[in-house]
Amino acid sequence: MEPTLFDKIIAREIPADIVFEDDEVLAFNDINPQAPTHILIIPKKPIATLNDIEETDLALIGRLQFTAATLAKQLGFAEDGYRVVMNCNENGGQSVYHIHMHLLGGRRLAWPPG
């Protein structure tokens, strides 16, 4: 598999505004924010789409969600509320084929999404 943009961010070949990192997860500000806070939370393991998650990845996927909630608390909008989104494939609007969770907070978000 060709390295994606996010593989290059993990390898520090492309700069990013990193807000959290551990052995398994990296979180950084989205370059084109759709809310006052818009963070991308990614596994360091390259998984192309939600459809490629395997049973052995379940703890890792939970860690993405836990990281989102932890960041929301640290940034002060957990109680007001926020949204996490994972886009899958073309109809889902996925543009980078390395799974990522969008954490959007800091304003009231409309529903349904476009």
Residues that bind ligand 5GP (CB under 6 A): 5, 16, 28, 30-32, 40, 87, 93-96
Q: Which is nearer to ligand 5GP, 12 or 55 (CB)?
A: 12
Which residue among 38, 98, 100, 102 is the active-site one?
A: 100
The reply to whether 100 belongs to the active site is: yes
Give me the least distance between CB of 64 and ligand 5GP, in Å please: 13
Between residues 16 and 72, which has the closer beta carbon with respect to ligand 5GP? 16
Residue 42: how many other CB atoms lie within 10 Å = 24
| DSSP string over 64-100 | HHHHHHHHHHHHT-TTT-EEEE---HHHHT--SSS--
The number of beta carbons lying within 10 Å of the beta carbon of residue 114 is 4
Q: Toward ligand 5GP, which CB reaches closer, 9 or 72?
A: 9
* Cis geometry, peptide bond prior to residue 46 (ω within 30 degrees of 0): no
Minimum Å gap between C-beta 112 and ligand 5GP is 17
Answer whether 44's CB lies under 8 Å from 26's CB: yes
Taking the complex as a whole, how short is the minimal distance between the CB of residue 82 and ligand 5GP, in angstroms? Answer: 16
- Could you give the residue numbers annotated as active site? 100
